[in-house]
Amino acid sequence: MKKIIATLLCLQTLSIATAQQLENKVPKEADVVVSSNADNVFELIKMSDIDSSIIGESLLKKMNRKRKDDAFSSVGDMGVNINANAYYFYKKTDSVGYHGFMVELKDRAVYESTVKTNKYKTIEQERGFSYVQGYSNFTIWNDGMLLNLSGDRNRDYFKKHKARFEKLKEEKESNYRLQKRLTKTWVKEEAMRVMNLHRNQSIAVNSEFKKAVKKGAAMTFWMGHYGSFMGKMMESYGGMNEFSTMFGMIDTKNPNIYGIESISANLFFEENQAKVLMETKVSPSFQKSFKKIYGKRMDKNLLKGFDGTNVMAYWGMSVDTEAALNEYPLMLNSIYGAMFPKFKEEIDVAGGMVAMLLDEKAISELITGDALFVLNDFKKEKVSYTTYKYNEDYERTKVTKTKDAFVPDFTVMVGSKRQDMLAKLLGIGQKYKLVSKEAKVYKVDLPKSELPIDLYVVLKNEVLYVTSSKTRAFAIERGVSYNSGKHGKDLRKNATVVYLNPNRVLSAVPKNMIGKSNAKYLKFSEEHVQSITLKSERFRGNTMKAALSLNTTGKEENTLKLLLKMINTFGK
């Protein structure tokens, strides 16, 4: 019995090892990792869905171009295991940025037949691996996996070590040819190294990466050290040698230069919704600041002027202005002091001066940090424009004409506790004939050539309203309170919300402005799309969370099938 149990445990271990062998080959020092979860994908679609898609048909056509009797009938027959997870990684070094793509092989011989019939005449053998090398990439495989690796050379690195590389030049070899040759060699060496990685050298032992991969996700994006990654990218581009001389070398070993430790995103395909859930982990030194700035709720007064039952689009945000002004000098020193170490003292003094000059309390009362922009509709307006008329002697005369234009009907709401100060500012506008007043509604009086729409301003209940609708302005001034509905709840719950109803927007635009060539996009949207939303939660703990969602009508079985249908529709 013990032998049977031991055998079963051994088989289970081997099974797990096989399923995770690609993950075990992703370098642990990778800056970016993207993984696909095949199990979650093929719970939603079948291989036949891929084969019948425009992508599958195109791939089969390409792969079968030179094949006769042994032509493939399915994408899954090409030697690559489509039903297994796949990985992409990006690893930045001082000399080369490596892009790697890994898949599992199902049938080595079949895959090698595709290589020979489509591009390469010979397959090289080395250290137990097969490989082909192109102009800018290297593809290597064994019985179980395939890696395609390409490299972007860092030109500044070659400039910095010019004297050393001059000694490596072949006869009459240009700098460009030398750089390409060396990069090609380094890519090959890196590919060989990756193929021979042990598990303890891979991303599989990184607990933060493992936590980033969410249950049910079809795909996961992970950037483990945002600050150091951005520092390395800045070194690679934009003349970093001169930059370093002037400002000092960026501390690329500090993973939290920008106050951010890591960023992750997971893609989900559900029945009526496709969504990306994003998480940004904030470094301990910034967490208190983020909590103060992004921890407040939107004032209910702001929502009284928001009709959530009849809206095309809106964008709302809520931050604590006083906290932002108080915390900004501290954050400024942490971020830019690390970016420009030679000027750390100067940046510290500049931040202190900003803090001394600003009256955070007064500014936060004038502008509280609550803001909401609402697109209510589009309307036709007569707008003026300037053109020129020429006589027989080609003398030019300025002519003002009018034309019909579709302009947005919108309302902007901004929280303010100092409406007395705003009233004084509007009073100055009246003095200079830039603003007029009817009852308690102000109207901006600028020529149509400068401002093609009418704008009305209302100060009410600690909110500054700016709207293009005279009717709405007077309704707000009278104290009409709209029903913000579920949108109001979302705005109160989150720090930022962006909402778009594309069909309402498209229905307001004249059909002749859309054009016949775009008719299929319009029809697809009307049939399948309900709304697009982006919600960023208030800051909690050490993480900023956000969700980008495409909400559908549910006419397809799930949103992954809808995606394939969209590709087929738009790709023809």
Full residue range of the structural domain in which residue 465 is found: 370-554
In a domain, 14, yes or no: no
For 76-144, where are the E strands, in sequence order?
86-92, 96-104, 124-126, 129-133, 137-141
Amino acid type, 100: G
Cite the DSSP H helix spans in 237-314.
Answer: 240-247, 284-294, 300-303
Host H or E run for residue 282: strand 273-282
pLDDT 10s digits, 366-399: 889 899 999 998 887 777 777 888 887 778 888 8
A 10 A CB-CB count for 125 gives 9
Is residue 357 included in any domain, yes or no?
A: no
Residue 115 covered by a domain: yes
Question: Which two tokens mark 329?
Answer: 């000098």
Q: Which of 174, 208, 242 is the last residue of a domain?
A: 208
Instruction: Decide if 218 is inside a domain.
Output: no
Convert 328-345 into a string of H (helix), E (strand) and C (coil).
HHHHHHHHHHHHCHHHHH
Tokens 């600003």 correspond to 358
Contact criterion met (CB below 8 Å) for 441 and 457: yes
Residue with structure tokens 């940046």?
A: 347
Across the chain, mean pLDDT equals 84
Please state the domain count of the chain: 2
Distance CA 28, CA 206 (A): 7
Contacts with 465 (C-beta within 8 Å, 6 or more apart), sequence order:
305, 411, 412, 413, 456, 457, 458, 459, 473, 476
Q: Residue for token digits 């949103």?
A: 559
The residue whose two tokens read 């424009």 is 385
CA dihedral angle for residue 500, residue 504, residue 505, residue 508, rounded to 10 degrees: -160
Q: How many CA atoms lie within 13 A of 25 on its CB side?
A: 31
Structural Rg of the chain based on CA atoms: 30
Residues 192, 22: contact at Cβ < 8 Å? no
pLDDT attached to residue 8: 34
pLDDT < 70 positions in the chain? 1-20, 118, 231-258, 328-360, 448-449
pTM: 0.84
Q: Report pLDDT digits (tens) over 52-94.
A: 999 999 999 988 887 877 889 999 999 999 999 999 999 999 8
Domain-embedded: residue 316: no
**Structure confidence at residue 261 (pLDDT):** 86
Half-sphere exposure of 536 (CA within 13 A, CB side): 15
SS (H, E, C) 18-85: HHCCCHHHCECCCCEEEEECHHHHCCCCCHHHHHCCHHHHHHHHHHCCCCCCCCCCCHHHCCECCCCC
Q: Is the separation of the CB atoms in 334 and 282 below 8 Å?
A: no
Asked if residues 407 and 379 have their Cβ atoms less than 8 Å apart, the reply is: yes
Q: How far apart are CA 400 and CA 101, in angstroms?
A: 59
> HEC states along 341-391?
HHHHHHHHHHHHHHHHHCCHHHHHHHCCCEEEEEEEEEEEEEEEEEEEEEC
Token representation of residue 546: 């956000």
Tell me, what's the pLDDT at 14?
Answer: 33
Residue 253 confidence (pLDDT): 52
Do 369 and 413 touch, CB atoms closer than 8 A? no
Considering the domain boundaries, does residue 297 fall inside one?
no
Structural domain contains residue 344: no
Has residue 313 been placed in a domain?
A: no
End of a domain among 208, 240, 259? 208
At 17 the pLDDT is 40
Q: Which two tokens stand for residue 62?
A: 């390409």
Q: How far apart are CA 268 and CA 55, in angstroms?
A: 21
Q: Residue 522 is which amino acid?
A: L
pLDDT at 240: 46
